[in-house]
Structure 1
Amino acid sequence: MSFPQRLKTLRAEHNMTQLQLGQRMNLSRSTITGYETKHRQPSHEKLADMAEIFGVSVDYLIDGDETLTPLSRTQHERIIDEKFFRLYSQLSVTSKEHALDYLELLKLRDEKQAQERP
Structure 2
Amino acid sequence: MEFGQRLKELRKQFDMTQEELAQALEMSKSNISKYERNELEPSLSTLVNISRLFKIDINSLLGIKVDVIDPRNDYKFEGTLNVSAIEATYERYIDQFAELQKTRLKDKSPIIKALYAVIIQNIEDLLNTSSVKELTEINKLTEEIWLKVISQRMDNNK
CA distance in 2 between counterparts of 1:15 and 1:39 reads: 23
CA distance in 1 between counterparts of 2:4 and 2:51 reads: 14
AA of the residue aligned to 2:26: N
CA distance in 1 between counterparts of 2:52 and 2:39 reads: 23
The residue that corresponds to 1:49 in the other structure is 49
8 Å Cα contact 1:22-1:32 kept in structure 2:
yes
Offset of 1:61 from its aligned partner?
1.0
8 Å Cα contact 1:2-1:64 kept in structure 2:
no
AA of the residue aligned to 2:62: I
- SS, match of residue 34 in structure 2: helix
- SS, match of residue 40 in structure 2: coil
The residue that corresponds to 2:32 in the other structure is 32
CA distance in 1 between counterparts of 2:10 and 2:63 reads: 15
Q: Which fold has the larger relative contact order, with Cα–Cα distance below 8 Å and residues 6 or more apart in sequence?
A: 1
Offset of 1:62 from its aligned partner?
1.1
- SS, match of residue 32 in structure 2: helix
1:5-84 to structure 2, matched below 5 A, reads: 5-65=5-65, 78=88
TM (normalized to structure 2)?
A: 0.42
* Percent identical residues: 32
1:79-118 to structure 2, matched below 5 A, reads: none
CA distance in 1 between counterparts of 2:37 and 2:62 reads: 15
- SS, match of residue 50 in structure 1: helix
Task: Give ranges in structure 1 of 5+ residues lacking alignment.
Answer: 66-73, 90-118
- After superposing on structure 2, the runs of 4+ consecutive aligned residues of structure 1 that deviate more than 2 Å are none
TM (normalized to structure 1)?
A: 0.55
CA distance in 2 between counterparts of 1:14 and 1:40 reads: 22
